[in-house]
Structure 1
Amino acid sequence: MKYTYILALFIFISACNRTEQVSEDTETLTDSVATADSLLYPGEKHFRNIRQLTFGGDNAEAYWSFDGNKIVFQSNFTEWGVECDQIFYANVATANLGNEKPPMISTGMGRTTCAYFLPGDSTVVYASTHLGGESCPEEPARDAGRYVWPVYDSYDIFVTDLNGTTVRQLTNEPGYDAEATVSPKGDKIVFTSDRTGDLELFTMNLDGTDVQQVTNELGYDGGAFFSPDGTKLIFRASRPKTEEAISEYKELLSQGLVKPTEMELFICNVDGSDLRQLTNLGKANWAPFFHPSGEKIIFSSNHAGARGFEFNLYMINIDGTGLEQISQDEVFDSFPMFSPDGTRIIFSSNRNNNGTRDTNLFIADWVD
């Protein structure tokens, strides 16, 4: 409620400072922009004309098509007839996801994650556990205040068309293969796998051939994205250093779990060379994506929060300087991705969820 009040007051004060000699068309346009931006929090100067796309459930990891006209995302919205995350796509300009179910392109079995359009925008790569069982895999219990993510060993990476027909299976190694994203050059896929006994980054061709290991340090390496020119990777990683931290990491991984509460961002060339740590903020820094310039990274972090669950979007230069807070949420903003032309951004947020735990998708014009 207080955000609505503050924003309304801000709009009123701004309107008072405008010239009184405005045309009727201008007044109409001003009202339209104010309505569109009523989903913004004060201080979010990089967003304009924000639009909410989904209205229930947990909707996340929404990524643009190469032509910027479609998105693919995962959702567990029960009103769409799913019990855990499945993959959907939508045409951005015409989607009305508050009133109608978008096309589901995963099998509807198992659990899915991390879908991404392939060149041509007629096929999508994603990870699924459906070969390990038709039911949703069991989620880990939260005990003694420990928050963990599951690393299901039944995840493999598949390609589907927009009719939901599986085109091919890209991975068939034992263990976890997931978190696939595609280079803007359209020639490579990066993904996370534990096939070496640790969670490392790998690249492969679009048909699953020529698998190359990128990282090799102990710790979870994941959520990688290519730079706009396809030469670099940005990703999140844990790097346990103490004997206790190393022991905990290995024990959890043996149970198919990782603890995501201490992660920093790392950057390297696609072949793994020139690897360096980009952030040193503490807590959880993740969901990084390159700014269209290739010189900055947008990401989600709770480093400034007091309670651990206040995640906001931040921007940082690729040399580690110039940290800037982008969003101003008191709960959760994450999974930012710029459109291919750099004019729009999509992200997931708890804003406007009427006090529920729903996480919805939002699109905004981007203002540098």
Structure 2
Amino acid sequence: MRYFVRLFIILWTLSVVALTACGQQPIALDEARDQPSDSTVATAPPANPITETRSATTELLGGGTGRIVFSSYRDGESEIYVMELDSKEVERLTDDDARLSQPVWSPDGNRIAFVRRRGAEYLEIFVMNADGTGQVRVMTNYRSLDIEPSWSPDGSKIAFTSSRDSFYDSSDEKVTVLNIYVLDTTNLQQTKLTNTRAWDSSPSWSPEGERIVFQSSRDGNNEIYVMNSDGSGQANLSRNASSDVSPTWSPDGRKIAFVSDRGGNEDIYIMDADGRNQVSLTDHNGQDKSPAWSPDGQYIAFHSDEDGDFEIYIVKTDGTGMTKLTNHGDFDGFPSWQPPRSAPPVGSIPSELDPTNIRQMLDFNLMDWLSANAIPMTTTEPGHSLGDLAPLGELIGDSHVVNLGGLTFGTSESFTIRHRILQYLVRELSFNTLVFEIGQDDAKLINHYIQTGEGNPSLFLAELDDPRWNTQEMLDLIEWMRIHNQESGTAPKISLFGFEVDNPFLPMDLVIANLMRMDLGETERRELVYEYLGERSSQVVENVDWLLGQVGYRAKFILWEYDYDFAGAVQGGYLGNISFHPSVGSMLSAIYEEDPFTIGFAFGRGEMTAFDSLFEDRVLTTIKVSSAPPGSFEWFARSTALPVFIIPIRETFDEESLETVWLDRPLLSRLTLGVYQPDDPNSGFHNIRLARVYDALVYVDQVNPTQLLQLPPGSEFESQETPCADPGICVQ
């Protein structure tokens, strides 16, 4: 009961009156819900900014430019304003129908990051010039609040708080979770720094950029924590039974200001950077919130309702010189002191976040569509609830054939996600036949074990022609099928078959390697490769069709194969051509018309198991996966910041809709066989028309190498489980 009381209090303090119980806390969990929807692009500032009486400048109070940016409701909706401290003159920078708040200066004083409410529920982070022009959104996530921006000292990153990890519990009640992320301003990619089921928020960078201080409720009450800038080394600094929130680092890095209610009301406190010597700076009857250091470290600005409504105050760091800056009668808050304006360092924020550059870099239509249509998956691991796959089941509908594609044998997630989907298809949709890309004789041995329990599946895997099947993940899948058949109850039992063709067909990568050794022109080489691919695809489809005829065409089949083989029309090939070849997917679609449902697999980054060369003396090793190049599907997919999700392509694609037209345009995407190619760091990326290839696509942001099983002595392949010695060279 105490938890729900505390949660109610926290949620209440996020309302329009208090705005945040945690200094700069999520401001719109309550306040945004009663607002009308608005566009996602902020409007320009008013032609005649509203100002107060201006006087001559004397000296710059607090250092820097002597200016404070803040948000205020003085003109109706919350807008961004800037104040000259010597004259108290106020200039309005924005004129927007949406609610704007939490402005914060960039370290060079040339940009302002702020939060803009979108629609009735969500918040996003924008950046604008110091005069209010050039407003541009720098991230998108349609299912969350992205708030509390904090610039790194060099301007290359923005740390922020996000609710995107919130979830629904077993009673279908939403559990709000806050974690801290960081945005790289040079490429607009986002990285998660904290990973709790609590509230981690209010990040603030240390002056040297190596640490971030933040608040967390992970211990049952709000405490001040510190971590390294990569998210490691998280430690509690405040260690107090009261609520300690809204930390901010002093310019010299020696002190941290924060808000605490340990005295009965929320007041401003200061402590050493290591958590020692915690002392009160203010002692008001009201609530003091959102402390912000002056550039010279001599003052702290904050907002307080000491006089009934929230106004902005400043106080010296010794507690003297309390001064009220605003007296408007409505909310004025979230002050940020402008640092000295300077030329930005090379590669810093002003060039990358120029509005024109951002709009050239990003296709916001694509990013918005991904964020709005992504179906989050709760886990990649089998053995958990399958409820998150129910939307996928609705997409599959009455299809009797599901093409379950994968990019490679080399990632653990390529196995485990397909394992989960297989469990769902069998238990919920009554699929009963699994067809693998292995020879039919090998499949018979494994199927005999699945049906009877007789035999040694580890030995079966070790004797397969391709050692990439010999993994713990594959063994776990076989064991699950065996257990399922023993305990299936009303669910159908599973049978396993193989559809891979035997000699003279060789693995595709070996075919290419041998062609590369031959003295052939590119055209001749391309024609031979595509002749081989077309012939192999025809043979595979004949095998699948024969199997369907054996067990009955109304049986429900799952075909486990590469994305490449299932692709309905793959553009670009291993030799850089622009031809098309008949794939397994396109042939199956021709035979069964609209029935086959193709699920692809994509991933963003991580490590994988792969061969170290294209040639016959190759060995398996662990390699680092190359980052997705800008403009690729994987690059855009990372903008959602979801660890794993499903994109419903068949259901949402409309060739006449501008929102989905990009799905039918060539888009660079990873399509690899998992072979190391040292002469091509972007090996495996091809231009693909997603709407012609997949009906749904599973994306995983972070992948890990498979767990290879020990091969018996004398095996044709040897395994090298240690990572590549030089990640700069061994990149997939």
Is there any run of 5+ residues in structure 2 with no aligned partner, and where?
1-50, 56-79, 169-173, 343-732
1:41 Cα deviation from its structure 2 partner: 12
Specify the alignment match of 2:568 in structure 1: none
Say if 1:224 and 1:54 are closer, same or farther in 2 by CA, change over 3 A.
farther
Specify the alignment match of 1:333 in structure 2: 332
The structure, 1 or 2, with the larger RCO (C-alpha pairs under 8 Å, 6+ apart) is: 1
1:112 Cα deviation from its structure 2 partner: 2.2
1:164 Cα deviation from its structure 2 partner: 7.7
Q: 1:264 aligns with which of 263, 267, 270?
A: 267
Specify the alignment match of 1:103 in structure 2: 137
User: What TM-score does the superposition give when structure 1 sets the normalisation length?
Assistant: 0.64
CA distance in 1, matches of 2:88, 2:245: 27
1:75-96 deviation line (CA, Å, top 9, x unaligned)? 1144xxx732221222335725
1:161-200 correspondence to structure 2 within 5 Å: 161-162=184-185, 165-200=188-223
1:27-176 correspondence to structure 2 within 5 Å: 45-48=86-89, 50-78=91-119, 83-93=121-131, 95-97=133-135, 102-133=136-167, 153-162=176-185, 165-176=188-199
Once superposed, what is the RMSD of the aligned Cα atoms? 3.4
Task: Tell me if structure 2 keeps the 8 A contact 1:106–1:164.
Answer: no
1:184 Cα deviation from its structure 2 partner: 2.5
Amino acid at match of 1:302: D
Partner SS, residue 130 of structure 1: coil
Task: Tell me if structure 1 keeps the 8 A contact 2:267–2:280.
Answer: yes
Specify the alignment match of 2:319 in structure 1: 320
Say if 1:266 and 1:91 are closer, same or farther in 2 by CA, change over 3 A.
same
Residue range with higher mean Cα deviation, 160-169 or 205-214: 160-169
CA distance in 1, matches of 2:143, 2:188: 13
Amino acid at match of 1:336: P
1:214 to 2:237 alignment: yes
Partner SS, residue 85 of structure 1: strand
Amino acid at match of 1:73: F
CA distance in 2, matches of 1:202, 1:92: 31
CA distance in 2, matches of 1:158, 1:232: 23
Task: Tell me if structure 2 keeps the 8 A contact 1:63–1:116.
Answer: yes
1:168 Cα deviation from its structure 2 partner: 1.7
Specify the alignment match of 1:203 in structure 2: 226
Amino acid at match of 2:98: G
1:328-367 correspondence to structure 2 within 5 Å: 328-341=327-340
Specify the alignment match of 1:298 in structure 2: 301
CA distance in 1, matches of 2:184, 2:278: 35
Task: Tell me if structure 1 keeps the 8 A contact 2:156–2:186.
Answer: no
Task: Tell me if structure 2 keeps the 8 A contact 1:63–1:73.
Answer: yes
Say if 1:221 and 1:153 are closer, same or farther in 2 by CA, change over 3 A.
farther
Say if 1:153 and 1:175 are closer, same or farther in 2 by CA, change over 3 A.
farther
1:326-350 deviation line (CA, Å, top 9, x unaligned)? 112111111111122289xxxxxxx
Specify the alignment match of 1:277 in structure 2: 280
1:42 Cα deviation from its structure 2 partner: 12
Task: Tell me if structure 2 keeps the 8 A contact 1:105–1:162.
Answer: no
Say if 1:326 and 1:193 are closer, same or farther in 2 by CA, change over 3 A.
same
1:293 Cα deviation from its structure 2 partner: 2.3
CA distance in 2, matches of 1:122, 1:195: 29
Is there any run of 5+ residues in structure 1 with no aligned partner, and where?
1-6, 15-38, 135-139, 141-151, 242-261, 344-368
Partner SS, residue 122 of structure 2: coil
Partner SS, residue 268 of structure 1: strand
Amino acid at match of 2:226: T
Higher helix share: 2
The structure that has the greater radius of gyration is: 2
